[in-house]
Structure 1
Amino acid sequence: MDEIHIYTDGACSGNPGPGGWGAVIQENHETRELFGGEDHTTNNRMEMLSTIKALESVLDSKKIVHLHTDSTYVKDGITSWVKNWQKNNWKTASNKPVKNQDLWQKLIAICDKKEVSWHWVKGHAGHPENERADFLARNGVMQQMMKAVVEETAKKGSSIS
Structure 2
Amino acid sequence: MDFRQHTPYRLNPDAPEPQTYLLNLYTDGAYFKQHRLGGWGIAIYDHQGQLLETLSGVQISESSLEMELIAAIKALQWVQQNHPNSSPTLYTDAQILLEGLFDKYPQWQESNWHSPNGNPVVFTELWQQLHQLTENLNPDIYWIKGHTNSHQNQLADQLARQSILKKPYSD
TM range (shorter): 0.7 to 0.9
CA 1:31/1:139 → structure 2, altered by over 3 Å: closer, same or farther?
Answer: same
C-alpha distance in 1 between matches for 2:32 and 2:165: 9
Which deviates further from its counterpart, 95-104 or 9-18? 9-18
1:12-161 to 2 correspondences below 5 Å: 12-14=31-33, 17-27=36-46, 29-59=50-80, 60-144=83-167, 146=168, 148-149=169-170
Which deviates further from its counterpart, 12-21 or 130-139? 12-21
What SS does the corresponding residue of 1:110 show, helix, strand or coil?
helix
CA 1:30/1:140 → structure 2, altered by over 3 Å: closer, same or farther?
Answer: closer
Tell me how far 1:40 sits from its aligned partner. Answer: 3.5
**Aligned residue identity for 1:38:** Q
TM-score by length of 2: 0.80
Tell me how far 1:141 sits from its aligned partner. Answer: 1.3
Contact 2:29–2:65 (CA under 8 A) maintained in structure 1 = yes
What SS does the corresponding residue of 2:162 show, helix, strand or coil?
helix
CA 1:15/1:76 → structure 2, altered by over 3 Å: closer, same or farther?
Answer: farther
Contact 2:43–2:51 (CA under 8 A) maintained in structure 1 = no
CA deviation map 1:16-51 (0-9, x unaligned): 711100001112644210000102331110010000
C-alpha distance in 2 between matches for 1:72 and 1:15: 24
Identical counterparts, % of pairs: 29
Larger of the two Rg values belongs to structure: 1
Contact 2:61–2:67 (CA under 8 A) maintained in structure 1 = no
C-alpha distance in 2 between matches for 1:113 and 1:16: 35
**Aligned residue identity for 1:50:** A
CA deviation map 1:72-104 (0-9, x unaligned): 111111122111111110011222211111111
How large is the Cα RMSD of the aligned pairs? 1.9
Q: Which runs of 4+ in 1 moved over 4 A?
A: none
Query: Per residue, is there more helix in 1 or in 2?
Result: 1
Where does the alignment leave 5 or more consecutive residues of structure 1 unmatched?
153-161
